C-alpha cells in the first residue's frame, strides 16, 4: 500500500478523536490523527475542567488534551497537523484530502466536533477581534477593568461570565428569554457573583464601535416591548451554542436536519460502511468531554470489528 495509506484515519483531535486513537493504537492499527485547525478541540479554549472523572481537583482543558495526545502517541498513533478539505467515501480505500497531503484509509473516524455559533450581525463580524469574541479564556485578559456583555443563557454563557469576572469590573449577561437554560449549579454561581448582572428578554441588534476604538456599545432590543436602547459596553462575548463541523461531509454522509452527523443508535456507524462518527459532531444533546471520549472509544472498537470482518473476507480459505 502507498505510504499515505492507513487502516484508520481519524479526523479531529478533541476528546473523541484522541480516545479513538488510543483504542485504535492499542489494537495495533497504527492510526493517523489529522488534527485540524484547532488541535485539541474546544477544551483548549476552556479553563478548569471540573467534571472529567479522575481529576478530583480539576484540570486545565489544554493540559487534559495534552495528556490524551501523549497517551495516543505512546501506543503508536501518528499525528499530523493538517486540515481536511475534502473526502471521497464513494470508493475504497477511502480518500481524505487535506491541506498538506492526501491520505487513503480502510476506515475513517469523523471526530470533527462543533464550533461556536455567532449572532449573525454585520457589526459582529466587523468587530471580531476588536472587542467581539467567543472565547473568554482566550481574550478575557484583554478586558481587565472593563465592562463587558455576555450573550446567551446556557452553561457556556454562565461559565464565560464567571470567568470574565476575574478580569472585568462588570459582566452583563444579555439573554433572549426570562429564564436561563444553564444547569442549576452554573446558574447559582452566576446569580451569587456580585459582578454579574442580567438583562432579560433582550437581543443585541447591533454592536457599535470601530476597529480603531474597539466596541463602545450595543443597541439592545427588548423582545417583549420592542423598545430599542443604547447600552455602553467595551466588549461582547458571544456564547450562544455551537454548530457541528460537517461542511465537508455534506452530500457524502447522512446528516440530521440540524447538520449533526447521523450515527446508528448505540453504535458509531454512519450510513457509509467503514466510516464512523463520534464526539460532538454526532451529539447535539450531551456535548461533554466525557461523552465525546466514550463515543470515541465506540468508534475505534467499531472500526476494529469492521477491519477484522474485512480481513476475514479477504483471506482465501
Ligand atoms: P446551549 O445549551 O445550546 O445554550 C445556548 C444559549 O444561547 C441558550 O440560552 C439560547 O437561548 C441562546 N441562544 C441560542 N441562539 C441564540 C441567538 N441567535 N441569539 C441569542 N441567544 C441565542 O449551548 P451551550 O451553553 O454552549 O452548552 C452546550 C452544552 O455544553 C450543554 O449541554 C451544556 O450543558 C454543556 N456545557 C457544560 C459546561 C459545564 O458543565 N461546565 C460548560 C459549557 C457547556 P434559549 O435558552 O432561549 O434557547
In three-state secondary structure terms, 293 is helix
Residue nearest to atom 14 of ligand 1 (CA): 240
3-state secondary structure of 93: coil
Q: Which atom of ligand 1 is nearest to the CA of 285?
A: 32
Instruction: Say which range, 32-41, 66-75, 223-232, 295-304, has the weakest mean pLDDT.
Output: 32-41
Residues 152 and 134 in one domain: yes
Would you say the CB of residue 61 lies under 6 angstroms from ligand 1? no
- Indicate whether 44 pLDDT > 90: no
CA–CA dist 70, 52 (Å, integer): 17
C-alpha cell, 75: 501506543
pLDDT confidence of residue 51: 86
Tell me, yes or no, whether 169 and 150 share the same domain: yes
Separation of alpha carbons 314 and 302, rounded Å: 18
pLDDT digits (tens, 9 = 90+) for 124-160: 999 988 999 988 887 898 999 999 999 999 999 999 9
The verdict on the CB of residue 159 being under 6 Å from ligand 1 is: yes
Q: Is the CB of 283 under 6 A from ligand 1?
A: no
The 3-class SS string of 115-130 reads: EECCCCCHHHHHCECC
- What CATH number corresponds to the domain at position 232? 3.50.50.60
C-alpha cell at 160: 464565560
Domain boundary among 238, 257, 286: 238
Distance from residue 182's CA to the centre of ligand 1 (Å): 7
Per-residue confidence at 47, pLDDT binned at 50, 70, 90?
low
The span from the CA of 185 to the CA of 183, in Å, is: 6
How many domains is the chain built from? 2
Average pLDDT over residues 228-238: 98
- Residues 180-227: pLDDT tens digits? 999 999 999 999 999 999 999 999 999 999 999 999 999 999 999 999
Q: Give the pairing type, strands 132-133 and 235-238.
A: parallel
**Pair 75, 130 in one domain:** no
- Chain mean pLDDT for the chain: 95
Tell me, yes or no, whether 134 and 274 share the same domain.
no
Please check whether residues 61 and 45 belong to one and the same domain: yes
Q: What predicted TM-score, i.e. pTM, was given to this entire model?
A: 0.80
Q: How far is the CA of 238 from the centre of ligand 1 (A)?
A: 10
User: pLDDT tens, 261-313?
Assistant: 999 999 999 999 999 999 999 998 888 899 999 999 999 999 999 999 998 98
Q: Which of 173, 204, 238 is the last residue of a domain?
A: 238
> Quick one: pLDDT at residue 286?
87
pLDDT of 71-130, one tens digit each? 999 999 999 999 999 999 999 999 999 999 999 999 999 999 998 899 999 999 999 889
Find the domain containing 204 and state its range: 118-238
Whether residues 233 and 294 fall in one domain: no
3-state secondary structure of 134: coil
Residues 169 and 210 in one domain: yes
138 is catalytic: yes
Q: Are residues 234 and 262 in the same domain?
A: no
Q: Is 242 in the pocket of ligand 1 (CB under 6 A)?
A: yes
CA distance 152 to 157: 5
- Domain C-terminal end among 210, 238, 266: 238
Amino acid at each position: 500500500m502507498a505510504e499515505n495509506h492507513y487502516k484508520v484515519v481519524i479526523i479531529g483531535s478533541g476528546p473523541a478523536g484522541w480516545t479513538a486513537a488510543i483504542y485504535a493504537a492499542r489494537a495495533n492499527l497504527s492510526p493517523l490523527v489529522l488534527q485540524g485547525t484547532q488541535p485539541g478541540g474546544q477544551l483548549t479554549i476552556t479553563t478548569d475542567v471540573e467534571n472529567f472523572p479522575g481529576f478530583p481537583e480539576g484540570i486545565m482543558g489544554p493540559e487534559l488534551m495534552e495528556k490524551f495526545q501523549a497517551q495516543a502517541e505512546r501506543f503508536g498513533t501518528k499525528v499530523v497537523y493538517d486540515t481536511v478539505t475534502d473526502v471521497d467515501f464513494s470508493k475504497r480505500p477511502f480518500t481524505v484530502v487535506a491541506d498538506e497531503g492526501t491520505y487513503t484509509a480502510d476506515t475513517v473516524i469523523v471526530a470533527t466536533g462543533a464550533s461556536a455559533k455567532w449572532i449573525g450581525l454585520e457589526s459582529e463580524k466587523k468587530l471580531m477581534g476588536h472587542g467581539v469574541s467567543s472565547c473568554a479564556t482566550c481574550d478575557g485578559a484583554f478586558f481587565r477593568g472593563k465592562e463587558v456583555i455576555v450573550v446567551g443563557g446556557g452553561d457556556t454563557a454562565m461559565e464565560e461570565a464567571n470567568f470574565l469576572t476575574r478580569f472585568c469590573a462588570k459582566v452583563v449577561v444579555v439573554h433572549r428569554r426570562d429564564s436561563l437554560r444553564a444547569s442549576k449549579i452554573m446558574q447559582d454561581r452566576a446569580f451569587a457573583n456580585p459582578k454579574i448582572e442580567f438583562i432579560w428578554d433582550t437581543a443585541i441588534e447591533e454592536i457599535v464601535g470601530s476597529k480603531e476604538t474597539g466596541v463602545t456599545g450595543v443597541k439592545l432590543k427588548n423582545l417583549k416591548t420592542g423598545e430599542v436602547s443604547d447600552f455602553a459596553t467595551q466588549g461582547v462575548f458571544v456564547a450562544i451554542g455551537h454548530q457541528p463541523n460537517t461542511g465537508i461531509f455534506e452530500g457524502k454522509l447522512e446528516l440530521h436536519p440540524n447538520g449533526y452527523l447521523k450515527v446508528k443508535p448505540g453504535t458509531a456507524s454512519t450510513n457509509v460502511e467503514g466510516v464512523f462518527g463520534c464526539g460532538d459532531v454526532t451529539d447535539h444533546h450531551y456535548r461533554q468531554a466525557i461523552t465525546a471520549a466514550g463515543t470515541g472509544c465506540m468508534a475505534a472498537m467499531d472500526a476494529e470489528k469492521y477491519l477484522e470482518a474485512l480481513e476475514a473476507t479477504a483471506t482465501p480459505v
